[in-house]
Amino acid sequence: MDNYSNDNTARRYKANVSIFGTTLIHLRNPYIIAWWSAAFPGFGHLLLSKYFRGYALFIWEVVVNIKAHVNLAMVYSFQGDIAMAKEVLDTRWLLMYIPVYLFGIWDSYRTTVDFNKGYILADHEDHRFNSFSLGPGEINYLDNRNPLMSVMWSLFVPGLGQLYIHRILTAFFVIVWVVVFFYQSHALEAVSLLFLGKIKEATTILNPEWLLFIPSHYGFATFDAYMNSIENNKLFEKEQRKYLIEHYQSKGFRILKGQKVK
């Protein structure tokens, strides 16, 4: 594989391999990305590798959700206690929460549509991109990874699947926040108590406001690792195919449809 950087000689690139990870654009379903933004603001943008925007929306969701007691109100709603759900909501924060929540969904959908158009043009241009990155602190390169391994490690601890496929920026962010969620929700303490048969204590110690963040976090980490494993594999195969054709295939090689080549 050639080792060179994207030098702006192309109008559009399909991918960039750096020490922080492999960033690529590919065709995505805008509704799926918007759905992840609805599940948790910021997730849709992180799937698109729009890291800073995704980080900002994610942190906004955590801070404002806790201040407005949105998750706590959801817990009371699930229990059928609508009056208590209304009582715990803090409208001073809630009225700020709603517009940003809707913006995250809309912006991730819009960005996905734009990226799909950009990918079609970049794929048509088919310009070369760097496939190997070597730095003083890290090495990254295109190769095949097993998507099921990505899923398995993500289910153990969110973020490990991203480390496996070298999505360092997403991995670091996901791992830090899963530690915060586990600590604040006392989820692991509750699991320990369950193993000891202390079901009532396990239920009492849980903090539902923070606990409700964990399922979305697990789901996102697993989906992101699986999807990007597949797309990285496709990119690797295309890059290898192009390299082999350019360096090993005879210039006079032709495949004639419906005819045997002698």
Percent of the chain with pLDDT over 90: 69
**196 secondary structure, DSSP code:** T
The DSSP string of 2-51 is ------S-SS--SEEEETTEEEE-----HHHHHHHHHHSTTHHHHHTT-H
CB contact set of 19 (below 8 Å; sequence gap of 6+): 133, 134, 135, 137, 138, 139, 140, 168
Residue ranges in the chain modelled with pLDDT below 70: 1-10, 258-262
Model confidence over 176-229: pLDDT tens digits? 999 999 999 999 999 999 999 999 998 899 999 999 999 999 999 999 999 999
Residue 251, number of CB atoms within 10 A of its CB? 5
The token duo for 31 is 């509704």
pLDDT of residue 5: 57
SS3 132: strand
Q: Where are the domains of the chain?
A: 1-142, 143-235
Where helices occur in the chain by DSSP H, the ranges are 30-39, 43-47, 51-68, 70-78, 82-88, 91-125, 147-156, 160-164, 168-185, 187-195, 199-205, 208-211, 213-248
Model confidence over 69-92: pLDDT tens digits? 999 999 999 888 889 988 999 988
Task: State the Rg of the chain over Cα.
Answer: 23
CA distance 171 to 224: 10
